[in-house]
Amino acid sequence: MSAEKEKTGIRAIARLAGVSTATVSRALNRPQSVSEELRQRIQSIVEEAGYVPHGMARALSSNRTRTIGAIIPTIDNAMFARGIESLQKFLSSRGYMLILATNEYDIDVELEQARNLIGRGIDGLILRGDCHHQALRELLVARDMPSINVGVYNPNGTAASIGVDNEAAAHRAMMHLISLGHKKIGVVSALQRNNDRASARIRGFRRALAENGLDLPAERHVEVRYTLDDARDAARQLLTGKTAPTAIACGNDVLAYGVMLEAERRGLQLPKDLSVVGFDDLDWSRHLRPALTTLHVPTDVTWRGAGEYLLARLDGHRVPNHYQIDYSLIIRESTSAP
């Protein structure tokens, strides 16, 4: 059948499935518009026949390329990996393809990547956070390009957003340490440059401290890149100071892992000598010893939600522009009274 496979077209698929070519087209282009049984039957015939829909022809006939672009700061981040996996799985189920680019927290690079993606005909764009080049905002408006900011909830912003209230979540994490009786608390955060999520979390930490008559002096706050080595350096700096903290709040879980590793290296017992709280609830957090107390953020729900929003917009539906995702404090073994 190999010779026939090359000649197989949508009419042959329709004949084999006993349906019209329009039905085959719907099953391939809008899987949700046909029954699951029919979709699977047509997909099985498509795979057996070796039929590959012609992307350019589909784009010309529908004015769509059925591709979604996403620009993230880095792939060296377990949280992004989990979110992208969830997004790609959802888009694939709806017959869309994901094109991924990175910008290393550089808004000029992000602008160039967005131009490249739009030039390749993407139907919608997903961005991380709400810190973008003004030229990018204007480009999206001029092109009438559906887009959404992931990882932030900004109901007062003009751009669509989906994510947690980072400031409120960080406030909750810091209040946990304060409620345990800690007064000398340090912070290890991600770099704030072009990272509105990091800035919002720092605001949340500071607000909780201020509400309880506590401060965060400069020597107890260190900003670092998203690496274990840098987090360990930050912990070393905090723990060797004259006013070593009894607890450290971290801007994300990877930073918390580095802090815990350095504390253990220095002979400290967690949480007896030092309490640590993270943010994100990555998979490793519950397997550590001691297991990490952290803020659980449903990353898969957030990124899938971004995909659902874009496809709803592309299908012409009127949908809300802003979606707040719930978070929860997961108390484990890394925090206790000082």
Shared fold status for 65-164+299-325 and 166-297? yes
What is the mean pLDDT of the segment spanning 52-81?
Answer: 74
Query: Among the CATH numbers 3.20.20.70, 3.40.50.2300, 3.65.10.10, 2.60.40.10, which is that of 65-164+299-325?
Result: 3.40.50.2300
pLDDT band with cut points at 50, 70 and 90 for residue 226:
confident
Could you tell me the pTM of the whole model? 0.80
d(CA 238, CA 89): 42
Q: Which of 77-81, 178-182, 250-254 has the lowest mean pLDDT?
A: 77-81
Beta carbons within 10 angstroms of residue 93's beta carbon: 12
Asked whether the predicted pLDDT for residue 4 surpasses 50, the reply is no
Question: 185-220 pLDDT, tens per residue?
Answer: 999 999 998 899 999 999 999 999 999 999 999 999
What is the mean pLDDT of the segment spanning 8-19?
Answer: 82
pLDDT of residue 54: 54
Asked whether the predicted pLDDT for residue 6 surpasses 60, the reply is no
Say what the alpha-carbon torsion angle 243, 244, 246, 251 is, to the nearest 10 degrees: 110
Domain residue spans of the chain: 2-53, 65-164+299-325, 166-297
Q: How are strands ordered across the β-sheet holding 185-190?
A: 221-224, 185-190, 247-250, 275-277
pLDDT of residue 7: 42
Q: Which residues contact 222 (CB under 8 A, 6 or more apart)?
A: 186, 187, 188, 189, 234, 237, 238
Q: Which residues contact 167 (CB under 8 A, 6 or more apart)?
A: 200, 201, 203, 204, 207
Beta carbons within 10 angstroms of residue 78's beta carbon: 15
d(CA 66, CA 263): 49
Omega within 30 of 0 (cis) for the link into 290:
yes
Question: 281-336 pLDDT, tens per residue?
Answer: 999 999 999 999 999 999 999 999 999 999 999 999 999 999 999 999 999 999 99
Three-state secondary structure call for residue 227: coil
What is the mean pLDDT of the segment spanning 17-42?
Answer: 84
Asked whether the predicted pLDDT for residue 56 surpasses 50, the reply is no
pLDDT of residue 310: 98
Asked whether the predicted pLDDT for residue 1 surpasses 50, the reply is no
Q: In the block, which residue shows the tokens 């059925």?
A: 66
What is the CATH code for 166-297?
3.40.50.2300
What is the mean pLDDT of the segment spanning 8-15?
Answer: 79
pLDDT band with cut points at 50, 70 and 90 for residue 15:
confident
d(CA 139, CA 104): 21
Question: 258-293 pLDDT, tens per residue?
Answer: 999 999 999 999 999 999 999 999 999 999 999 999
Question: 127-164 pLDDT, tens per residue?
Answer: 999 999 999 999 999 999 999 999 999 999 899 999 99
d(CA 214, CA 216): 7
Asked whether the predicted pLDDT for residue 10 surpasses 70, the reply is yes
pLDDT of residue 14: 85
Structural fold of domain 2-53: 434 Repressor (Amino-terminal Domain) (1.10.260)
pLDDT band with cut points at 50, 70 and 90 for residue 2:
very low
